[in-house]
Amino acid sequence: MFHKEGFKIITTAFLISAILAVSAHFLIDNEYLEKGALLVILIMLFLILQFFRNPKRNFKLNINQILSPVDGKVVVIEEVFEKEYFKDKRLQLSIFMSPLNVHVTRYPVGGNIVFSKYHPGKFLVAWHPKSSEENERTTVVVKSSEFGAILHRQIAGAVAKRIVNYAEEGQEVSQGSDSGFIKFGSRVDIFLPLGTKINVKLNQKVKGGITILAQNDN
């Protein structure tokens, strides 16, 4: 299964691949060079299909848990001052996504969307300290019943050139449902209340809608 954001690109990729394959057959006289060209075409097509995949997952939704919004690796867990919405200290948890990860962004909690904003910006590498504030990004805040306001921020990187954000202020959303899509890599930051019990560690691999980032044991 593939994500809807990839339908146009996948169709175009198949057409271009077919044209290149036919061209290679008629323009390249050397059999080994022709096979090499076809192999490169197939690899590029495979990578595009891999990027836009949207596998079915059995979500175990729980209002007492905060789920990972994306697939990737935890690269930051630290206390920071969040400038855009909260304007106070929060616990930031950042997840880096490689081009091979599933790139669907999911709501880490369910509730009411109280803030959603797009920011044009730079395309610094995703692990750059200033990428969270200077890169192209979207900020979404969902007010949940158990945790209060939870902010997640999609951040473009050096390769990612397109962020898709479905969140609209006033919407009621379900935990684990699609919040957006980041095309070709980058990262997502989550800002949690101080004192939130974190269930993951640095460099741990996580899955969107599956891995429990934090939970409320009360």
- Residues contacting residue 12 through CB under 8 Å, at least 6 positions apart: none
Residues 100 and 45 in one domain: no
Residues 16 and 100 in one domain: no
- Sequence letter at residue 84: E
Residues 45 and 81 in one domain: no
Residues 107 and 189 in one domain: yes
Task: Tell me, rounded to whole angstroms, the distance of Cα 199 from its chain centroid.
Answer: 20
Specify if 56 maps to a domain. no
State the residue for tokens 């939130």.
196
Residues designated catalytic: 186
Task: Give the residue-averaged pLDDT of 5-20.
Answer: 85
pLDDT of residue 100: 80
Residues 15 and 106 in one domain: no
Token representation of residue 82: 């969040």
Domain that holds residue 14: 4-51
Residues 47 and 91 in one domain: no
**pTM attached to this predicted model:** 0.80
pLDDT of residue 127: 55
DSSP per-residue string spanning 31-44: HHHHHHHHHHHHHH
Specify if 177 maps to a domain. yes
